[in-house]
């Protein structure tokens, strides 16, 4: 029998397929973007401390620095070339010939500024934990039993973890309210689904949304028991429905999962395009929501007792705690 909670309607904000854009749409967007340009560039006074990591393949860079004496982390990322603007780019750019040989030639192409944007994320004031999160470091696989969680991990995450103020802001509509794709307001099984801040929403190839539960006090996978099945099933069903309706992407094209360990200890579920290798979607960190549901159906306390594996960076305090406890 289908759960009653699952039948409750998920209220979509706008059923249009926003990421499927025509040329006309992109031109309208450009107008929107122009109107929304920041009057002041908050990054103009940025002083570099250190490049934390960068990747030529991913075309991104994570930078630690200061803005007005406050610690800051900036993430710069070149975004994919979009099919809906590629002709405009080819027709409207400046070209500089680099070499020509027979039928082969290479150029440097300078696109018009509106087609040459860099997705930029700013965290300010940033904590040292943010700096460490983005620093390239050696990683280790930790093996955590249910007892380890109680004696090592839980006290650690209670003493030091990222603020979830941004989550509260979303749930209370104090931030990102206009970005909400769908919401079920029920306090027990409800959630808010919205684009993850890693996704610029310009193309579906790297689609990334996050569903944040309304219910407080569920830190992570470890807290889940069979009592949370209606919540998880509700997110799974309505999240997939909302993504199909809004973006035209069927469930067979989605990877729906939880991270263990998460960075933010308020339960949330990741929805990413299946073809996109999102950071943290590897088997050592991602747990498919469908598997989580089945595991809890088989054993209501599955995640309380089960040994879980997760990657930890060399500088992470949690790694030190596992070493101190001679568990690594």
Which residues does the annotation mark as catalytic? 268
State the Cα–Cα distance between residues 227 and 116, nearest whole angstrom: 49
Count of residues in contact with ligand M7G, rule CB under 6 A: 14
Instruction: Assess 130 for contact with ligand M7G (CB under 6 A).
Output: no
The structure tokens 């790297």 sit at: 206
For residues 281 and 272, the answer to whether their CB atoms sit within 8 Å is: yes
CB nearer ligand M7G, residue 5 or residue 273: 273
Instruction: Assess 129 for contact with ligand M7G (CB under 6 A).
Output: no
CB nearer ligand M7G, residue 208 or residue 322: 208
Restricting to residues 241-260, name those near ligand M7G by CB under 6 A. 259
Residue 315 DSSP code? T
CB nearer ligand M7G, residue 264 or residue 276: 264
List 65, 190, 239, 262, residue binding ligand M7G (CB under 6 A): 262
Q: Which of 102, 82, 64 has the alpha carbon at shortest distance from 20?
A: 82
- In DSSP terms, 323 is beta-bridged to none
Q: Where are the alpha helices (DSSP H) in 204-288?
A: 229-247
Beta carbon of residue 264, minimum distance to ligand M7G (angstroms, whole number): 4
Beta carbon of residue 53, minimum distance to ligand M7G (angstroms, whole number): 14
CB nearer ligand M7G, residue 5 or residue 258: 258
Residue 178 DSSP code? G
205-239 exposure pattern, b = at least 16 Cβ within 10 A, e = fewer: ebbbbbbbbbeeebbbbbebebebbbbbbbbbbbb
Beta carbon of residue 289, minimum distance to ligand M7G (angstroms, whole number): 13
CB nearer ligand M7G, residue 29 or residue 196: 196
Beta carbon of residue 36, minimum distance to ligand M7G (angstroms, whole number): 17
Restricting to residues 181-210, name those near ligand M7G by CB under 6 A. 194, 196-198, 210
List 46, 140, 156, 166, residue binding ligand M7G (CB under 6 A): 166
For residues 235 and 181, the answer to whether their CB atoms sit within 8 Å is: no
List 263, 294, 297, 307, residue binding ligand M7G (CB under 6 A): 263
List 77, 84, 176, 200, residue binding ligand M7G (CB under 6 A): 176
CA distances from 36 to 32, 74, 121, 174, 273 (A): 6, 20, 16, 19, 28
List 140, 156, 264, 302, residue binding ligand M7G (CB under 6 A): 264
The structure tokens 């060399």 sit at: 314
State the Cα–Cα distance between residues 217 and 172, nearest whole angstrom: 16
Long-range contacts of 316-321 (CB under 8 A, 24+ apart): 316/132, 317/156, 317/160, 318/142, 318/152, 318/153, 318/156, 318/157, 318/261, 319/140, 319/142, 321/152, 321/153, 321/156
CB nearer ligand M7G, residue 21 or residue 270: 270
Binding residues (CB under 6 A) for ligand M7G: these are 166, 176, 194, 196-198, 210, 259, 262-264, 268, 270, 280
């Amino acid at each position: 029998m289908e759960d009653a909670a699952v039948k409750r309607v998920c209220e979509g904000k706008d059923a249009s397929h926003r990421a499927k854009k025509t040329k006309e749409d992109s031109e309208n967007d450009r107008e929107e973007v122009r109107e929304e340009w920041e009057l002041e560039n908050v990054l103009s006074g940025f002083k570099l401390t250190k490049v934390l990591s960068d990747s030529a393949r991913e075309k991104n860079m994570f930078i630690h620095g200061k803005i007005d004496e406050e610690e800051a982390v900036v993430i710069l990322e070149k975004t994919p070339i979009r099919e809906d603007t590629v002709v405009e780019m080819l027709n409207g750019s400046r070209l500089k010939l680099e070499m020509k040989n027979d039928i082969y030639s290479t150029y440097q192409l300078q696109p018009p500024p509106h087609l040459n944007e860099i997705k930029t994320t700013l965290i300010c004031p940033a904590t040292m934990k943010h700096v460490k999160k983005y620093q390239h470091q050696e990683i280790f696989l930790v093996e955590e039993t249910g007892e380890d969680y109680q004696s090592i991990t839980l006290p650690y995450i209670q003493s030091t973890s990222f603020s979830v103020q941004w989550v509260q802001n979303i749930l209370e509509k104090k931030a990102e309210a206009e970005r909400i794709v769908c919401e079920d307001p029920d306090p027990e099984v409800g959630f808010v689904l919205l684009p993850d801040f890693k996704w610029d929403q310009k193309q579906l190839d790297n689609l990334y949304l996050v569903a944040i539960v309304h219910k407080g006090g569920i830190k992570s996978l470890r807290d889940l028991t069979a009592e949370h099945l209606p919540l998880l099933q509700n997110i799974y069903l309505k999240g997939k429905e909302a993504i199909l309706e809004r973006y035209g992407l069927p469930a067979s094209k989605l990877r729906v999962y939880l991270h263990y360990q998460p960075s933010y200890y308020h339960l949330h579920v990741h929805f990413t395009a299946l073809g996109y290798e999102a950071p943290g979607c590897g088997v050592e960190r991602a747990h498919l929501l469908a598997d989580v549901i089945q595991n809890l159906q088989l054993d209501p306390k599955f995640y309380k007792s089960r040994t879980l594996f997760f990657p930890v960076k060399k500088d992470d305090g949690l790694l030190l705690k596992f070493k101190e406890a001679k568990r690594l």
